[in-house]
Amino acid sequence: MEKTILKEWDDGDIISKSINANKGAELFRFIEGPPTANGSPGVHHVYARVIKDLFLRYKSMKGYYVPRVSGWDCHGLPVEISVEKELQFEDKAGIEKYGIERFNNICRSSVFSHIDEWAEVTKRVGFFIDLTKPYTTMDLHYIESVWWSLKRLWERDLIYEGHYVVPYCPRCGTALSTHEVAQGYETITEEAAFVKFPLSDQRETYFLAWTTTPWTLLSNVALAVNPNILYVKVKVKNQFLIFAKELLQTVLSDELHFTIVAEFQGNELNGTRYVPLFGDRQPTVVLAEFVSTAEGTGIVHIAPAFGEDDFNVAKAEGLPLVQLVKPDGRFDAHLPLVGGLFFTDANAVIMKSLASRGLLHKREMYEHSYPFCWRCEAPLMYYARRAWFIRMSSLREALVRNNEMVQWHPKTVKHGRFGNFIENARDWALSRERYWGTPLPIWKCRNNHVVFIGSIDELKQRIGDDATLSDIHKPYIDRIVFPCDECAEIMHRIPDVIDCWYDSGCAPFASLHYPFERSDDFKLPVDFIAEGVDQTRGWFYSLHAIASAVFGSNAYSTVISLGHIVDEQGRKMSKSKGNTVDPWQILNNEGADSLRWYLFSSGNPGTPKRFYEDAIIESQRKTISTLWHILSFFTTYAEIDRYDVTWQLADEHRNVIDRWLLSRLNGLVSDVVEYLDRYDYYLATLAIDSFIGELSNWFVRTSRRRFWKNEKDLDKISAYVSLFETLWTLSTLIAPFVPFISEYMHKTLARYAPEARESVHLETYPALRPDRLLPEAERDMDYAKRIVEAGRVARSSAHIKTRQPLTRIICVGPELESTELQTIIKNELNVKAIDFEKGDDKFIEYEIGLKFASVGPKYKDLAPKIKQVLSTLTPQAVLEKMNDGIEFEIGQTPISLSKDDLTVSEKVRGGFIKSEDSGLVVFLDTEITAELRKESLAREVVRRIQVMRKELDLPYAAQIRVGYQGPAEVSQAIRTFNAYLKDETLSKSVVKGDLKNARLRKEWMIDGRRVVISIAE
């Protein structure tokens, strides 16, 4: 069915008709978060795509003009790394040797290596988006807009070059921005060392410092102490250790005997000289406020090239920047001990060397979170590098202020995961020492004069008007040089490219080539975006940061951040664990609607989503199949009865159950619209699911007979028009959620709807018809349903099967006036009558007893007499007085009985079963008369005939003849209920004996009686 509909959408060009609908109407702005199409789309991509589709379809059906353009993220490390892997390069030297031009050409063509797969899955899940004119971040115009924005930042002094310690991936050979680092933390356990630094002028005396990165010890230039912390000198065995007093217990946890020999403030240690562990420097102790006693020893070893605090201390103290590790993460080859080793591999060698020289106080295992490259998984190092930055730290206030304008789903992200991040926003390390990316548009001369280029025209003016600039990627852009305005020296471009997160963060304007074109179409904020939670500090941040920095605005009004997809056990999905689910498996087996409905209806966006095939099968069974069955029920009978558009009936002439249905439907419409308007799709699905359940389990089931009627009376018309209107509205209401079955419903029902448009997706979204809301009808129906519910419980606790008719049910409560609802109750419970009573006293007998434990001590010997007096009162009289106390005299003794002195037991009168459903009490009369037994037998026979009809696969309207053989009771029952039997089974005759030309003959056991039934046409 879905595939047929996909073809019809193609043939009818429905996608572009839907997108172009409402052109000129109010705009609903959306930006597609551009995926990188160099890998296969997974379930989490499908998840984001269908959530976007839901709201874009909804807004479009609500009358907005909703342009939907796809986009692709083309630049950056994700692409470069996959090409590097393909070409089997170890590091950047491999790329340089291969040639940047060739390398970038391969990057360019690999960008779209999986684009067909993306297009296919996008179409298959029913995402209405224009795939024909995507924006791409490598497009010349896109890059030009990015340049323009950078120049605006430059002009506002928000871009600067600095040497700073940055998180750095040695494998990728480039710095990462803090929001990239934030994505790659993992908890690891490593060996931490308590290292001894010998004092220069005191024998056997050591400063104790603690480090988790022994490899940085080679670059140690100082030890830092806090001037305000108290330190101790402790004698342990025959040596002296110096560290913070507060940490005595942890540092000396292994020592049985030690003596404190001196105490001093940190500032007294300032300038103390110590012997370097490696090399021949002359290091000293310096003071630094950041040193704490939270962990370690209160003395911090300083390696300025490898830590931000270290770097700042070194800058303040004028210490040298010793950088023994090269940008590829390896130690300089000429170094003893560690020459050529990768930095993390050096830890073991260094520990061994320290231990052999007696410079290791102790080691311990230490669990902490450590950053890894989000792309290549190499451990990052903090590394002093030259880099270009955006001064985000100066924009914190704006970031926070603009975030207040954003509606986050889930709400907690706003001031949680996202809010915390922007409050502490760090400067954005923008430049990347890489190849395939938007070139940083900065040219410099040897005298450090800088030109910042903000457009292609500007660049052309620098090099002459006739230049053609069709590709401004590396290496071509690096060939462009021009003379400096100030000193006439040649200006060369800075070789860096920029962080690809900056590219995608420019999408709201760069996708339009703003401000060079289409400035009328551009406006911030866009109305809506949605992506996975991993984009919170990724794309959501870069959009927000750039909009705040360039336009002083928030980038989006509403954002949905979708939780992780996890497997059935709640584990994160990953290829290496082998627990991923291929979206195609689900699409092929259960279909797109079931997949979509599951994703919408299985929880709020914030919660991780368990994803496994059985869950989707269940979603199909519960919702999609139920809808399908209701629709086919309607169409089957509509065909038999030749239902058409001339069947009309004003609301006030309709059956109360139909008016109830339309009232419920309109309540649903109103709820769903309200929920979708506030992006609460989960609540909308709950409302829809419960409506579909009621439509199937209540309306269709209780109204089935009304469609079976032969004559075309008002009630039958009422049932038809009401069910049709319901299905028609429902098809439109659910269209944004499940675009396929809704389209199928629409097409199936369109023949009865002269106003139908070509596709359900071109219809207007249903609106509430307040005149149809009937709170009283809904209240009455709820009452009726509760009676039925309580009655069913009574029946089952009496062990009386449903097919056995009973005399009556008594309901303690107000009278239900509608005879139609009474009929429903009677049919549902298979009782002949329903009575309403104000109280239950007719059906309950009370017995009052005396609590001897309480009366005995008070009245002693009188207790038996009290019992006697009590038994002369009616239980009702006692019950009425019980709360106020019962008083009488025995002889001269006044007796006063309270509630606590009495026991009350209640007993339901014989022949009745009591049942209670949230405060509603019913009594079922369980007496089975001979007449009722006969009727039950007749019903049993009906059911057998119906089973046989089904077995013969007879058309719904086919008439049959029935013959039967069985004991006298059965014959009597069939004779008495002959008309009923014929009616129920569409039989022309039901006669005793065997039919000679029977098409089917079967022997049945009915309540222990052997009955043979034969059927002929």
Catalytic option among 7, 85, 352, 572:
572
Residue 535 annotated as catalytic: yes
Print the SS3 string covering 909-937: CCCEEEEEECCEEEEEECCCCHHHHHHHH
Q: Which residues pair with 812 in a beta bridge?
A: 837, 921
Tell me the closest approach of the beta carbon of residue 489 to Zn ion, in angstroms. 5
**CB-wise, 489 or 613, nearer to Zn ion?**
489
Residue 899 annotated as catalytic: no
**Chain residues in the site for Zn ion (CB under 5 A):** 169, 171-172, 373, 376, 378, 445, 447, 449, 484, 486-487, 489
Residue 539 annotated as catalytic: yes
- Asked if 660 and 777 count as a contact pair (C-beta separation under 8 A), the reply is yes
Distances (CA, A) of 388 to 153, 450, 451, 913, 1001: 12, 13, 14, 83, 90
**Count of alpha carbons within 13 Å of 50, Cβ hemisphere only?**
28
- Asked if 524 and 512 count as a contact pair (C-beta separation under 8 A), the reply is no
Give the residue from 388, 542, 515 showing the smallest Cα distance to 455: 515
Q: What is the dihedral of CA 670, 51, 505, 457, to 10 degrees?
A: -90
Residue 500 CB partners (closer than 8 Å, separation 6+): 73, 75, 76, 77, 78, 137, 437, 438
Give the Cα-Cα-Cα angle 76, 81, 86 (nearest 5 degrees): 135
Residue 585 annotated as catalytic: no
**CB-wise, 172 or 354, nearer to Zn ion?**
172
**CB-wise, 481 or 904, nearer to Zn ion?**
481
**CB-wise, 288 or 325, nearer to Zn ion?**
325
- Asked if 824 and 831 count as a contact pair (C-beta separation under 8 A), the reply is no
How many residues make up the chain in this entry?
1017
Distances (CA, A) of 669 to 131, 226, 663, 676: 32, 66, 10, 11
**CB-wise, 330 or 914, nearer to Zn ion?**
330
Tell me the closest approach of the beta carbon of residue 437 to Zn ion, in angstroms. 14
- The CA distance from 453 to 817, in Å, is 82
**CB-wise, 189 or 447, nearer to Zn ion?**
447
- Asked if 572 and 564 count as a contact pair (C-beta separation under 8 A), the reply is yes
Mapped onto helix, strand or coil, the DSSP state of residue 585 is helix
Q: Quick one: which H or E segment has residue 979?
A: helix 978-985
Counts of helices then strands in the chain (DSSP H, E): 36, 38
The runs of H, that is alpha helices, within 678-709 are 681-694, 701-708
Tell me the closest approach of the beta carbon of residue 372 to Zn ion, in angstroms. 8
Catalytic option among 9, 147, 436, 539:
539
- Asked if 669 and 733 count as a contact pair (C-beta separation under 8 A), the reply is yes
> Treating both helix axes as pointing N-terminal to C-terminal, what angle do 681-694 and 625-640 enclose, rounded to 10 degrees?
40
- Asked if 80 and 455 count as a contact pair (C-beta separation under 8 A), the reply is no
- The CA distance from 545 to 574, in Å, is 30
Tell me the closest approach of the beta carbon of residue 168 to Zn ion, in angstroms. 9
Give the residue from 374, 391, 381 showing the smallest Cα distance to 428: 391
**CB-wise, 181 or 721, nearer to Zn ion?**
181
Tell me the closest approach of the beta carbon of residue 375 to Zn ion, in angstroms. 5
Catalytic option among 53, 73, 427, 925:
73
**CB-wise, 85 or 518, nearer to Zn ion?**
85
Residue 72 annotated as catalytic: no
> Which residue reads 């049945």 in tokens?
1004
Cα-only R_g, the chain: 41
**CB-wise, 91 or 789, nearer to Zn ion?**
91
**CB-wise, 445 or 829, nearer to Zn ion?**
445
Catalytic option among 9, 408, 535, 593:
535
**CB-wise, 17 or 449, nearer to Zn ion?**
449
- The CA distance from 600 to 597, in Å, is 5
**CB-wise, 260 or 487, nearer to Zn ion?**
487
Print the SS3 string covering 472-519: CCCCHHHHCCEECCCCCCEEEECCCEECHHHHHHCHHHHCCCCCCCCC
Give the residue from 754, 778, 781, 753 showing the smallest Cα distance to 668: 778
**CB-wise, 370 or 647, nearer to Zn ion?**
370
- Asked if 306 and 382 count as a contact pair (C-beta separation under 8 A), the reply is yes
Residue 572 annotated as catalytic: yes
- The CA distance from 986 to 959, in Å, is 5
Question: Any long-range contacts for 248-251 (C-beta under 8 Å, 24+ apart)?
Answer: 251/194, 251/208, 251/297, 251/361
Tell me the closest approach of the beta carbon of residue 80 to Zn ion, in angstroms. 10
Tell me the closest approach of the beta carbon of residue 171 to Zn ion, in angstroms. 4
Residues of the chain by 3-state class (helix, strand, coil), percent to 5: 45, 25, 35
> Which residue reads 């079955």 in tokens?
741
Catalytic option among 72, 443, 501, 1004:
501
Residue 501 annotated as catalytic: yes
Catalytic option among 9, 34, 151, 474:
34
Q: What is the dihedral of CA 938, 944, 946, 950, to 10 degrees?
A: 180
- The CA distance from 334 to 753, in Å, is 85
Residues marked as catalytic = 34, 73, 501, 535, 539, 572, 575
